[in-house]
Homo-oligomer: A and B are copies of this chain.
Amino acid sequence: MAELLPPALTKLIEALGNLPGVGPRTAERYAYYLVRREPAKAEQLASALTGLHSGIQYCPKTFALISSDEDVSPLYSDPRRDKKTIAVVAEPLDIISLEKTNEFHGTYHVLGGLVSPIDGIGPEQLHIRELVGRIDEDTVEEIILATNASVEGESTALYIQQQIGPDRTVKVTRLARGLPIGVDLEYADQITLSRALEGRQTL
């Protein structure tokens, strides 16, 4: 079918098809939408893409994404941030989810993934050494392991706990597992329900 479309359009459909979860039909829809809009829309997206990698970098402390003209993430440098409490997350975007709760005033540490042998990601590829370094440097009092409630999230949390070791006085916690708000008991899966039972709290 490729010869039915002009090469400039085929090229765009292919490039859009590289985005995660975007199949050929969705890529066609995105591309055709841009065809119909004024060229400035496509140019705007093109310029945002061109400026992406030159405009960002990883914070050397938290490994959050920061602007290329910043030295360190404001999530670390801001004096209102409690440097003695670190939430450890897998990816930079997880920070946004936690910030939206408005309940956390500590700082962050982005691992850059989770231990996942199937994807070839070992613990040495994550920023775990740097995390242990921060614990000592900033005399951190609490590490909140805010990794996913998945096998990878759990094993990464365990590995980090081992690396911190029993000799450091830092308190290591992790996010509670239990029933998500608004979900009926009958729809909760067995593992979630087991965790909710284990973690039950007195009223």
Interface residues of A (CB under 8 A from B): 1, 3-9, 11-12, 14-16, 18-22, 26, 28-35, 39, 41-56, 65-68, 70, 74-75, 91-93, 95-96, 99-100
Q: Is the CB of B20 within 8 A of A29?
A: yes
Could you pull out 11 A-B pairs where Cβ atoms are within 8 angstroms? A1-B96, A6-B55, A11-B51, A12-B45, A12-B49, A12-B52, A16-B45, A18-B45, A20-B30, A29-B93, A42-B49
A29 CA to B39 CA, complexed, in Å: 25
The residue among A22, A35, A99 with the most chain B CB atoms within 10 A of its own CB is A35
Q: What copy number does this chain have within its complex?
A: 2
* Residues on the B chain within 8 Å of A11, using CB: 48, 51, 55
Other-chain contact of A52, B4, B18, B35 (Cβ < 8 Å): B35
Q: Is the CB of B49 within 8 A of A6?
A: no
Q: Is the CB of B52 within 8 A of A33?
A: no
Distance to closest chain B CB from A199 (angstroms): 28
A170 CA to B144 CA, complexed, in Å: 75
Q: Is the CB of B41 within 8 A of A8?
A: no
Q: Is the CB of A48 within 8 A of B12?
A: yes
Q: A19-B30, A34-B52 are in contact. List 16 more A-B contacts (CB 8 A).
A: A5-B65, A6-B55, A6-B67, A8-B52, A8-B54, A9-B65, A11-B51, A12-B48, A15-B48, A15-B49, A18-B45, A35-B52, A35-B65, A39-B52, A45-B46, A46-B46
* Residues on the B chain within 8 Å of A56, using CB: 6, 8-9, 35
